[in-house]
Amino acid sequence: MASLEQIQAWARQCGVGRPRSRYRADDGDDRPASQPTILRFAWMARVSTKDMQDPTLSLPRQLSSCQRTLPDKAVIVCNFYDVESGRMDLDARGRGNLHELFDIPIPRDGGIADLLAEAERPDRRFDYVICEGIDRTARHMFYGVTIEHRLEQAGVRLLAADEPFQLATRDGRKPKMATQLLTRRVKQSIAEFYVVDLLEKSWDGFAEHTEQGYNVGKPCYDYRARQIPHPVLAKRAKGVKKTFLEPDADQAPAVRQAFAWRVDERLGYQAIADRLNLDLATYPPPVPVSPTRAVGRWTYSNVRDILTNPKYTGYMVWNRRGRKSRGNRINPISEWIWSPCPVHEALIDLETWLRAQDVSGHRFGSRSTSTLNVNHPDTKRFYLLRTYLFCGQCGRRMSGKAVYYNCQPKKLYRFEGHPNGLWVREDGLVGQLNGFLSQHVFGTYRRMLLDSELRRLDVTVQQEREQRVAALRRKIADVETRSNKNLIRSLESMPEPDQDFFRELNERRAELREEKARLEADLGDVEQQIEEAPNADLLDALPIGPIEVDQLPEDMARRLFEAPRLEIHYDRFTNRATCRITLFGSTMPAIQRAAHDAVVIPLQRTKEGRRSATALFGDNMDSADGNKEEGVYPYSCSHPRSAPGEIRTHTGRVLNPLPLPVGLRGRRRQTLPFRPGPEAQGSHCVITAYTGSAADTTW
């Protein structure tokens, strides 16, 4: 029988147990002592950030730690390192170039991605990978184990300089790894716990910092930093300060004007930027952190950043964007951190900011300009109802094509029952819209044509709410009296108050505080109901007169549609279009301006005719009106060229013998009132009406 030595000699001679590839070396390869085995190592390292760490010091230190741990027959043949966070996804690791910003005295063969790719090749240059600590591979335990597993599947062991490890044994047995594995898993857990715990505490610190009213980062446009000394003495000695926000008088008009255009006219970001660029002296553009990047004008992103920033309401807000975890995308509003109360001067109120955010949904996919779409090569005409016409079946905005508006969603986005194509003519809709505006909005009998629910608004309910408000205020005053004066009198009347008396006194004060809080909550609810109640009196602030939107300039027509929040929903199955406008007390000035222009512009010909008549007959044309009422615009609805009959056809026979001036016959003049609207901020009035059958206007 052959001995053990004879079997080992035969195995060495025949190559039994050796890998077939000439590029791979086996740890357990038993070679003669005269031919020592060289252990080839790849060094892996990582530095978290370029700002808080110095890669020129950290990377050489990590390399020295690994070299001191290696056995005598080991040599590092290649270096792989990165300057990046260990919490990044593994697919995104090793693709940065931050290491190029530093003069690192270590040659670089690649990053973690290059290391894994070479480990899976048959001609790799190494058999082991070593790092200073297992936390240098990843701060996520899952990604760290994934890297270890991929190397293990490729036949490469991952070692750490701060772990006990054994490379090979002479008797052919496998090296011991249990203690090393336990140490590694504990350290991986601690590494992930440490970073998560640090992030949570830092996040809570920023939240408390925000709730106290301090600003984070550069002050937003129209604010400047009001610095105060840092409360920590060590940081104060280094010049570190905390900052509050205070308005900048030179930039305040731009913010207020941008919000006014957004809320009143519902303009898009680029349209607002174009208007601001018309007067850069009054509205100076923002300057970025790096002044060399300034473009010297307003841009789409500048306006968007202002209109979406809630700091202009006076509140301090933080965590609006996930700059690291979400790729700088906006976080849900529920995750924003708000200060409990306003901490700096507000430029707009919270209600205005909320309305500005609602415009985004309305403006999505629609331009603000009234001109032709020069960016689309097939555009040939202007569509008057673009942006305001919606499909009654799916709610999508209808688009223009030829003389029609259509709704043709793709097959995968078309729900059951929706036609393949829905078409309606523009001229039919415009005619019905003129009737709606002339009768229901600017007509003499518009109050009578209001929706039945609004016309039958129970006045007694409003009176009951007002009475309840007065009663709640009386109860709150009574609770305050009982909490202060009566309890003090009870305390004074007690000759020797004991502990039981003080305990009962504190319990009674707590009960009164709870009762007061409940009454104040009820009062706020009732006042909110009164504030949100429809107010039909807003209609009285609008002028009276006919409207023909197809005769108006495009920009004027769009202002008339935007101000009262016009919406038209066309139902194909009933062939009816529903028109809806909403009047808000805060937007009434813009609605009044747009309505006044829409009523007056069609009468410009009348004014021109009146000027001609004044030139012929003198300045007494308006004498019949007597004294003009202040705030009333006396534009006539008739003019000499519309006078019927003989005055126009027999002027030579009739006018010559008569002394001047001459009163011309014609339609009776109608004065169009235009007065400031009611000061009911927050109140609203919704007008909805069917424009009738549109069967003859559909395709």
Give the percent of the chain with pLDDT over 70: 71
Sequence-separated (6 or more) residues with CB below 8 Å from residue 224: 245, 246, 247, 248
Q: What is the pLDDT of residues 319-332, one digit of tens each?
A: 988 777 767 788 88
pLDDT at 394: 85
Residue 23 lies in a domain: yes
Would you state the torsion angle of the CA atoms of residues 146, 147, 152, 155, taken in this order, to the nearest 10 degrees? 140
Six token digits for residue 440:
């229901």
The kind and range of the H/E element at 80 are: strand 74-83
Query: Based on the domain organization, do 486 and 543 belong to the same domain?
Result: no
pLDDT at 620: 44
In this prediction the pTM is: 0.63
Q: Which of 196, 213, 240 is the last residue in one of the domains?
A: 196
In whole angstroms, give the CA distance from residue 610 to residue 629. 20
Question: Would the pLDDT of 678 be above 50?
Answer: no
Q: What is the pLDDT of residues 94-152, one digit of tens each?
A: 888 888 889 999 999 999 999 999 999 999 999 999 999 999 999 999 999 999 999 99
Beta strand 632-633 with 576-584 is: unpaired
pLDDT at 362: 64
Residue 215 lies in a domain: no
Q: What is the pLDDT of residues 421-441, one digit of tens each?
A: 888 888 888 888 888 888 888
What value does the mean pLDDT take over residues 193-199? 91
Which has the minimum average pLDDT: 80-94, 268-282, 430-444, 627-641? 627-641
Confidence at 668, pLDDT banded by 50, 70, 90: very low
The CATH number of the domain holding residue 303 is 3.90.1750.20
Six token digits for residue 539:
């209609």
In whole angstroms, give the CA distance from residue 516 to residue 535. 31
Confidence at 317, pLDDT banded by 50, 70, 90: very high
Residue 318 lies in a domain: yes
Residue 202 lies in a domain: no
Query: Based on the domain organization, do 602 and 573 belong to the same domain?
Result: yes
Q: How many of the other CB atoms lie within 10 Å of CB of 299?
A: 16
Residue 368 lies in a domain: no
Residue 217 lies in a domain: no
Question: Would the pLDDT of 188 be above 70?
Answer: yes
Q: Which of 177, 196, 215 is the last residue in one of the domains?
A: 196
More confident residue, 629 or 91: 91
Render 545-581 in DSSP notation, one character per residue: S---GGGS-HHHHHHHHHTTT-EEEEETTTTEEEEEE
Beta strand 157-160 with 329-330 is: unpaired
Query: Based on the domain organization, do 449 and 463 belong to the same domain?
Result: no
Query: Based on the domain organization, do 406 and 500 belong to the same domain?
Result: no
Longest dimension (CA), the chain: 154
Residue 213 lies in a domain: no
Number of domains in the chain: 4
In whole angstroms, give the CA distance from residue 226 to residue 75. 58
Q: Which domain holds residue 564?
A: 374-457+534-699
What value does the mean pLDDT take over residues 642-653? 37
Query: Based on the domain organization, do 557 and 415 belong to the same domain?
Result: yes
Q: How many of the other CB atoms lie within 10 Å of CB of 516?
A: 18
Query: Based on the domain organization, do 579 and 453 belong to the same domain?
Result: yes
Six token digits for residue 231:
């409360």
Beta carbons of 665 and 644 less than 8 angstroms apart:
yes
Helix, coil or strand: residue 321? strand
Cα distances (angstroms) measured from residue 162 to each of 17, 65, 176, 187, 537: 32, 9, 16, 10, 80
In whole angstroms, give the CA distance from residue 287 to residue 632. 45
Six token digits for residue 350:
């919270």
pLDDT at 642: 36
For 146-185, b/e burial (b = at least 16 CB within 10 A) is ebbebbeeeebbbbbbebebebbeeeeeeeeeeebeebbe
Query: Based on the domain organization, do 423 and 274 belong to the same domain?
Result: no
Six token digits for residue 113:
């991605």
Query: Based on the domain organization, do 411 and 541 belong to the same domain?
Result: yes
Question: Would the pLDDT of 334 be above 70?
Answer: yes
Q: Which of 331, 363, 395 is the last residue in one of the domains?
A: 363
Give me the half-sphere count of Cα atoms (radius 13 Å) on the Cβ side of residue 696: 5
In whole angstroms, how large is the CA radius of gyration of the chain? 40
Six token digits for residue 620:
């007494």
Query: Based on the domain organization, do 234 and 188 belong to the same domain?
Result: no
Query: Based on the domain organization, do 450 and 501 belong to the same domain?
Result: no
For 301-330, b/e burial (b = at least 16 CB within 10 A) is ebbbebbebbbbbbbbbbbbeeeeeeeeee
Q: What is the pLDDT of residues 387-411, one digit of tens each?
A: 888 888 888 888 888 888 888 888 7
Residue 369 lies in a domain: no
Query: Based on the domain organization, do 192 and 159 belong to the same domain?
Result: yes
Q: What is the pLDDT of residues 561-588, one digit of tens each?
A: 888 888 888 888 888 888 888 887 777 8
Task: Return the closest-CA partner of residue 644 out of 667, 626, 675, 668.
Answer: 667
Query: Based on the domain organization, do 331 and 464 belong to the same domain?
Result: no
Would you state the torsion angle of the CA atoms of residues 462, 465, 466, 470, taken in this order, to the nearest 10 degrees? 170
Beta carbons of 269 and 303 less than 8 angstroms apart:
yes
Q: What is the pLDDT of residues 455-481, one digit of tens each?
A: 555 566 767 777 888 888 888 888 777
Helix, coil or strand: residue 420? coil
